[in-house]
Each structure stands twice: as structure tokens, then as C-alpha cells.
Structure 1
């Protein structure tokens, strides 16, 4: 008697493939592929394939399917670094929201290499991404040329450019409000420790906002410095500044820089905030855990990622989206800043 081949005897199940489906249905592999990609298949053949899929529990690979389709459901996301709180939280927001909207995210990490960033734009476009999101630190002529060449919907996060849609944090007003906060606590000898002005949002706008605040008071001595984003570099910069300037407070362009300053102050035998105040920007989770807790301008990165996900999908469907969307912030007051006015009483 002829024995029927059952699915478990053919090695089918969770790891079944298109070839397995074709064998069980008695059709060509290309016919199964055509069916899965929405092509024309006869009614009888269609029923055989559907029966085989039902028996094996086969689940199509949506990534592979999307790459074969004329229109994909994958959003290419270019990120300069993965070891950044801001980047990771933004990516979490993007990923969670895109999944809810039946889209997927493909991440390209460039390790802060401009050359790799430009390569990634072309590479993602060649992989037929539906759209591209760039967590940008700077926008160069090369970026603009690449975006114009690939002709794929693009959304910038963190930086803005008049030719492209962007979602930015309110860096200028965060800098201004931080300046007002520090001045309101009585600090007048201030070191502002920023970053390169190639980064418009962090390096320029936060500093511009802070400068506007200090222009509103008299008898204020402020010196502006630059360092790198990493904690060890900020620590080294802070030690030099402490020795040459001895500020009463450091206003730091990021929370990482602020943590470098805290380390430098301890190594110099200083106590925060008794001997010197410190503030940051970002609102990283660790700023609440460390002692003293860091006063900071908190940005809502995860929520920004969620909003960016909704916006890129709107762009894919050619629906109207604001050219520039500004994410909100909040000044979080913790123990790293003293009230000098109260201390003088």
C-alpha cells in the first residue's frame, strides 16, 4: 500500500521553506513564489498551495518578501552610533511604532563616519527601502546630493534642512531656559562646555540659546569651550578648565559631558554642588541614579522616534507633513546645582 508523506516525515514545520511547500503541493517552486508575491495562480493550484501552507505552518519571511516586491514595507534607518542613549531611545520609539503600522526597520550604523553615512544612503536605496530616516549630526552637500539622487522619501531626526522634512529637539529654547535657570540660582562665573559647531543642534543652537539668556543679566563672566562627546575627553577638558578658570558652575552641552565634569571635579577634590555646580542636556536615565543627581534639560527621545515613524509613513503615502516638527523638553532640577542666593543669606 502506498504510504502518504506527512509533513513531519518531510522535515516540515517551523523551518519549512518554499521548496517544501512546492513538493507537498506538487507544483514548481516558482509557482509558490508567484503566489506568495501576489502573482497570478490558477484556482486549483492556489488551493493546493494554501493547503500545503496550512499543513506545514509555513510563515513567509516578510523581509525577503518585501525586498522582492516593487514597494517594500521596510524603513532604512541610519544612525551615527549605537552606544548613545539618545540614539537607542529614538530607535526604540521608531521600531515600536513602525511595527504597530506593519512596517519594519533596518538599521545601518555608521560609527560616526561621514563616508559610511553617505554610502548607507545609497545602499539602503538600492535595497529598495520604502523610506530613509537619518539620525543626523550634520548635513553636508554630500548628504543633499545623495538624497536627491536616490529619490526615496527622507526624514531627518536631530538636524533640519530647508529641502527635507525633519524632526528636531528644541535645542535653542532648552539652552535659553537652562541659562535662565542657572542665572536664577545666582551663578555668575560660568564655563559652558560644548561641542563642535559642525553639529548645528548640539554645538550651535544650545549655545545660542544659552548666550541669549546671559545677555539678559549684568556682571556675568562666561567662557565657552569645546570638547568631544565621550566622558573621558570631557573629563580631561574639565580638569584643564578647573585649573585655569575655576568656574562656579559648568553648563555642559550633553549629559555625558556633564558626567565627565563630575569625574574631573572629584579627582580635583571638589564637592558638587558645594564647590561647583554642574548641568547637562539630554535627560539620560543614569542622571537620576548618580550622586548627586544631575540637573538637566530632558529631551523625549523615545516619543520623538514614535512621532518620526508616523511621519515617514505619512510621507510614503504622500500625505501632508509639517516640514519641521519640534519635540518638547523639560528642565529637571536635581542636586548638582545649589541656590547661591539662599547660601548668601
Structure 2
């Protein structure tokens, strides 16, 4: 196993034996079974050890006769294991997932794909939302490490020095999604080339006065790499001075930046770093009586389903978010099994030509 792989594993702390009140279950008339039983109770009634019951639920080897005893108790008392109580086991069969927001189509696709893949392989997904807060993101990672989850998938806002310190100190497998983590394992969108594709498209369709609504540089993938790709694509067609505005990822941010662009210039195209920002641009342009694309072309990134419902249909670029989730889940399970994995994997994108860009050549 490589040194980097070793850094992504931590010795799981030995959990102490929890004390519990032993309950003698006597099968006699008038006995009332408690409404909720524990794994220890199941073990006692089945005549096996608690570790055997834990191994049964975690998919480990248990003799057929023993399995039947445990199964009989489970069925009789309708017992369901407490996932969080199992987190201290050597293998919890729980994967932590840290995401920057739950209010995102892209994030929901990634989470859905991760959860489906892991669920099919008897793993539980534990999701922590950071709400685009770096400090909360770091805290969420630490909480998952303390819970001794088997691995962590993090769709990061950015990989800071604090992130690097945590990643290097823990040996729990960690896969970074959406940001390029050079010192570890990452799965990323091809933000630069996707941005360049859109920039070139706006250039070759004859636009000259371009406004760009991006996001803050704290998000390196979208705020820096995607933006640079757009700028380089535009520059290839002689557009060297687009008006750049920065926003958060919100619908309101898209509106605010669009108004600012209209106050400072007369654009023939507005490129938006996300579809949600493009939705804000649509609203403002339509409020001002400006036609899309006759007066101003609009293009976004994301390929949201709602984008096809706009009038006119939004021209956008769609990343394979489901593919990112699938690759992330597949990779983290390989790391848990100490199988070799690629250091960096890049997911594909697809350009969707709607009707929101006018060919001005």
C-alpha cells in the first residue's frame, strides 16, 4: 500500500463495552415485552454474543444455524438496528458525505448517485451540509472522523491548508469531489475546458460586448478555473475585456449582477457561471423588456431540468453529476478495501444548444 493510501487510513479506535441492564426474557403468560430492544437483547435471546449479531448486520460470516436463530428473534420482535449505535464498530458500513448545500440541482444529483450506489452495496450514507461555510465544512469533516465512518466523500468549497492538515492526520479514506486535491484522491469536473467551450461558442457566434457573472474565488473550481476557461475562449475570438461580476450562487445574486452589467455597459451576451445565475439574468432582462436572444444572448452552466422550460430554452453546459457521484462512491469503497484507485478522475460534460444565444455573424 502506498504512503498516500496509508495517509488515508486511520486505526479505528477500540470501542469500550457499553454497559446495559440485562433483561431476562421469560416466555410466560402476562409478560410484556419492552417496546424497544437493543442489539444486546437480540444477542441474549438468540444465545449468541453481541459481536456475532453485529457481524450479522454488517454482512460478515455467521454460521447458518446461528443466522437462523438471530433472524427468528429479529422477526419475532420486529427489531431494526440503530445505525448510529453501529458507528463505533470496526467497520460501520457508513460513508460520510459532506456537501456545500442541499439547495442545488447538481448537488442533489451527486448525492442521489452516491446514495444509490452505496445502498446497493449495503452501505448507509450520512450527509452533512456545510451551507457554503468553510468553517462548518471543516467541522463536519471532523465530526464524521470522530464517528469512525468507513470513509468520507467531500464535495468541497475549497481545499484549504486546514483541509490538508485534517486529511493528512486522518487515515480514514477520503475522496474530494469537485475540487482538485493534488495530494490525495479527487474527482473533478473539467471546469477549465468546459468554460473555454462556452467562451469559444459566444465568440464564434459573433458577440463582442460580453458580461460575465461568476462566483467568488473561494470556490477554486468555478470561481477561478471555469472563469479562466471562459476568458480564454473569448480571447481566442478577440474578446479581451468582458465585464466581470461576482456573486454567490443564488437567483438573487444573478439578478443583482445583471442589473449592474446593464448599468455599466450595453452587452450583447451574458455568460453565467451557473444556470441559477442565468435564471436571475432572465428575470431582469425580461423585466426591462429586453428580448433573449434578439437583444442579449444568455448562456449558463449546469444543465438543470428547469433550464429547458425557460422561454427561450437556455443554452447551457451540463456536467455528468450522476457520474461524479458514482465514481466517488465506487472509489471510496475501493479505498476501504485497499484496492488501487486513480489519483484524479475527470467527469465528462455535454454542451446543450438551446435558443438563448443568437448567431450574430
Q: Same fold (TM over 0.5)?
A: yes
Instruction: Work out the CA distance in 2 between the residues paired with 1:51 and 1:98.
Output: 24
Q: 1:212 to 1:23 in 2, by over 3 A?
A: closer
Deviations 1:19-65 (A, max 9, x none): 6646755x6xxx552331249xxx9x958943742651644416246
- 3-state SS of 1:37 partner: helix
What is the aligned partner in structure 2 of residue 237 from structure 1? 257
What is the aligned partner in structure 1 of residue 332 from structure 2? 312
| 1:185 aligns to 2:205 (yes or no) | yes
What is the aligned partner in structure 2 of residue 140 from structure 1? 160
Contact 1:75 1:131 in 2 (8 A): yes
What is the aligned partner in structure 2 of residue 287 from structure 1? 307
Deviates more, 1:224-233 or 1:276-285: 224-233
Q: 1:48 to 1:156 in 2, by over 3 A?
A: closer
| 1:94 aligns to 2:114 (yes or no) | yes
Aligned 1:184-333 pairs, distance under 5 A: 184-218=204-238, 221-333=241-353
Q: 1:17 to 1:70 in 2, by over 3 A?
A: closer
How many residue pairs get aligned? The number is 329
Contact 2:88 2:147 in 1 (8 A): no
- 3-state SS of 1:115 partner: helix
Instruction: Work out the CA distance in 2 between the residues paired with 1:275 and 1:64.
Output: 56
Contact 1:188 1:221 in 2 (8 A): no
Contact 2:199 2:233 in 1 (8 A): yes
Contact 1:122 1:150 in 2 (8 A): no
What is the aligned partner in structure 1 of residue 86 from structure 2? 66
Deviations 1:43-100 (A, max 9, x none): 9x95894374265164441624632421221111111111111111100000001112
CA RMSD after TM alignment: 2.7
What is the aligned partner in structure 2 of residue 34 from structure 1? 51
Q: 1:33 to 1:292 in 2, by over 3 A?
A: same
Structure 1 residue ranges without an equivalent (≥5): none
Q: 1:37 to 1:47 in 2, by over 3 A?
A: closer
- 3-state SS of 1:180 partner: helix
Question: Normalization by structure 1: what TM-score?
Answer: 0.87
Contact 1:282 1:299 in 2 (8 A): yes
Aligned with residue 84 of structure 1, among 104, 118, 126: 104
- 3-state SS of 1:340 partner: coil
